[in-house]
Structure 1
Amino acid sequence: MPASKTQQATSAADTSIGFDYQFYHFFLLLLDLRHGEEIGIEQKDDVHVDLADGSQLLIQTKHTVQQNAAGESINLTERDKDLWKTLSNWSKVIAEQSDAKAFLLKTTFQLATNKQAIKNPFILKLIQLQNGDIKTKDFKDYLKELAKGTTDEGIKTYIEAFKALPADQLAGFAKKISFELNHDDLISQIKKRLLEKIHIRERVEDVYRNLHSELRDTNYLNVKAGVRNVISFEGFNKKFGKCFKVAISTKLPIRDLPYILPDNPEHQLFVRQLIDIGDISAASKDAIIAYTTQMLQLLNNLKDWEDNGDFLDSDRRKFNRETAFIQQTAFKTSYRRIRAKLEGGTGPDELDDDIKDSALSLLDDMRRQILQFDETQLSLELSHGHFYLLTEEKEIGWHLDWQKRY
């Protein structure tokens, strides 16, 4: 059912994406920190960066979901409300300083937005002032006419607050204003920055997920505890450095990957073997699906590692041999007494129950095994999945005569 007009009007989506935009901008700049620098979110401004030389960058982030006819973000216009509200807020901050001149010398102001600015007259005037092409008086006269030309009292108030700064402060402020326009698709930019740091494309997603999760949790918990959300270069390395370890470790990333169940999972070879020894019945649909899922998750992770170049064919063969050796060694132990009875003349039919009991005991023993390849330790479910996969591939079996039977 579509949302009503009232629901659409009161939707928090626009506000939510604004906070997300702020977070991702913070995330991106965090990756550029250098020694002696620190970054904060919702502290001195939406985002701020304190540089090693004592200067600071104050950043306001503004995101719009509005689009033009071409499907692009709308323009940052000459009388854009976000623009003038931001400049007004910064003007108030300057006016509150005990030494506004010193504050302006060490501060740069940046508006980061996904809006575009095609021939914005205000930005053109600002650049002229910054380049010395016009005087402060000319700039103030322009602002006066700009305020007169709007019927929006809110925007007019914002322009007046900006224009009200003393001429020397207005000139100093105007020269320190910069824009990050059409600044969008921040997630892709973050991942590109991570690639520049770790140089292993296949591990970017893993590092990104680790960092994203830790940063989100840290920001939330800091706000909840009343702790300043500020991170120094050294603090970032100490607290979040472990998020990069996945890029340098030989430990393989284990992922929850999509899979497609076969149409008739009960026809799989490994399932037929488990049915034959009495572990499950053909009617045990839930168990068959669970076991098949474990096998497919293991198989998909193996393929994922191979596709990403983390796992060679020789690694796959080595891993299979090691797992098969564990099962085959236990297989010999489980059937030692039964083999002795068969060699002594006891018929196989007489030992059928004993054979199934031994097979089940062997299976239970293997289900307690936690498999490992180099530094990568599998979960219990994936360990089960590898035994099932090797059974499906006829590398191992559970019944004493599995090779003849299958």
Structure 2
Amino acid sequence: MLQIKNLMKEKYVPEDRMELLVGLIYKRLKDYAFDLISDGKAVDVSFDKQFALFSKYFLYAKSNFNPLNRMRSSHAILQVNPKEQVFIRQLTDIDCISESKFMDLMHVLLNFQQYIEQGLIEGAIIPEEVDELDKNAELIWGAIFQNAYDEIERRRRLAQSVDEKEIDAIARKIYHQIQGQHISQESFPLDNRLSFGEFLKLSDQPKIGWHIDWEMRYAK
């Protein structure tokens, strides 16, 4: 154990985070070895394998990251009236959901936030992986959004009239299409409900939206 800690010092891991790092590495190694032995396979201890298994934990331990400060916490979500939540406002403004659906969507977002928070606290997820998940989700949304509003954008460039009801209808279609999208990271798999929670989180920040003018309306 002393040799391991000395190695960590060489990697500039702060003293007060060494126990955390040791615990994370031990747990990951135990799970990795158990899975291989259960399948009758040899345990690979090559440098490449060690790097793949443990490098993210060294990055996490070296950072001064406080996972509870990273995003709007699950506790904070519950303290706000649903009607005042940005992601709810985005949907009610396009007449996409009724008030009876507010709590269902709140629970989807809450479950996602708690899943990510717990992973960050335990070190199973590192901040860079959350950033990567956000980028992937934004790319998926961006392609759908751009394709859906291509004709509306063309008509606007030509100074042709655009009916607001038509825009709202397109916005609702984008939202429903996003509901069926599945995103995931290798290190922390997301099912369809958690994937939807990621998109709700982004629409609450807001980094994505449904109405063509969502940035002007909500990103202030």
With the length of structure 1 as denominator, give the TM-score of the two structures. 0.36
Q: Which of the residues 353, 356, 366 maps onto 2:168?
A: 356
Deviations 1:210-243 (A, max 9, x none): xxxxxxxxxxxxxxxxxxxxxxxxxx957xxxxx
The residue that corresponds to 2:26 in the other structure is: 199
Residue 199 of structure 1 aligns with an amino acid whose one-letter code is Y
Distance 1:277 1:303 in 2: 31
The residue that corresponds to 1:275 in the other structure is: 92
The residue that corresponds to 1:262 in the other structure is: 79
Deviations 1:255-293 (A, max 9, x none): xxx867334112100000000111113xx1x31111111
Mapped contact 1:370–1:377 kept (Cα < 8 A): no
> Superposition pairs for residues 325-344 of structure 1, below 5 Å?
325-344=139-158
The residue that corresponds to 1:310 in the other structure is: 124
Q: What is the Cα deviation at residue 374 of structure 1? A: 2.1
Residue 339 of structure 1 aligns with an amino acid whose one-letter code is E
Q: What stretches of structure 2 of length at least 5 have no aligned partner?
A: 1-22, 40-51, 55-73
Mapped contact 2:109–2:198 kept (Cα < 8 A): yes
Residue 405 of structure 1 aligns with an amino acid whose one-letter code is R
1:390 aligns to 2:202 (yes or no): yes
Distance 2:193 2:202 in 1: 15
SS in 1 for 2:78: coil
Deviations 1:97-155 (A, max 9, x none): xxxxxxxxxxxxxxxxxxxxxxxxxxxxxxxxxxxxxxxxxxxxxxxxxxxxxxxxxxx
With the length of structure 2 as denominator, give the TM-score of the two structures. 0.64
Percent identical residues? 24
SS in 2 for 1:377: coil
Bigger helix share? 2
Residue 320 of structure 1 aligns with an amino acid whose one-letter code is D
Bigger strand share? 1
Higher relative contact order (CA 8 A, sep 6+): 2
Residue 308 of structure 1 aligns with an amino acid whose one-letter code is E
Q: What is the Cα deviation at residue 373 of structure 1? A: 1.1
Q: Which of the residues 91, 98, 102 maps onto 1:288?
A: 102
SS in 2 for 1:346: coil
Mapped contact 1:270–1:391 kept (Cα < 8 A): yes
Rate the CA distance shift 1:289–1:337 in 2: closer, same or farther, 3 A.
same
> Superposition pairs for residues 174-253 of structure 1, below 5 Å?
199-200=26-27, 237=38
Distance 1:291 1:365 in 2: 16
> Superposition pairs for residues 79-228 of structure 1, below 5 Å?
199-200=26-27
Distance 2:145 2:38 in 1: 49
Q: What stretches of structure 1 of length at least 5 have no aligned partner?
A: 1-195, 208-235, 239-247, 251-257
Distance 1:315 1:237 in 2: 28
Rate the CA distance shift 1:263–1:317 in 2: closer, same or farther, 3 A.
closer
Mapped contact 1:338–1:351 kept (Cα < 8 A): no
SS in 2 for 1:373: coil
The residue that corresponds to 1:345 in the other structure is: 159
Q: What is the Cα deviation at residue 377 of structure 1? A: 3.2
Residue 136 of structure 2 aligns with an amino acid whose one-letter code is E
Mapped contact 1:294–1:384 kept (Cα < 8 A): yes
Mapped contact 2:125–2:187 kept (Cα < 8 A): no
- Number of positions where the alignment pairs a residue of Structure 1 with one of Structure 2: 161
Distance 1:378 1:384 in 2: 9
SS in 1 for 2:163: helix
Q: Highest CA radius of gyration, 1 or 2?
A: 1
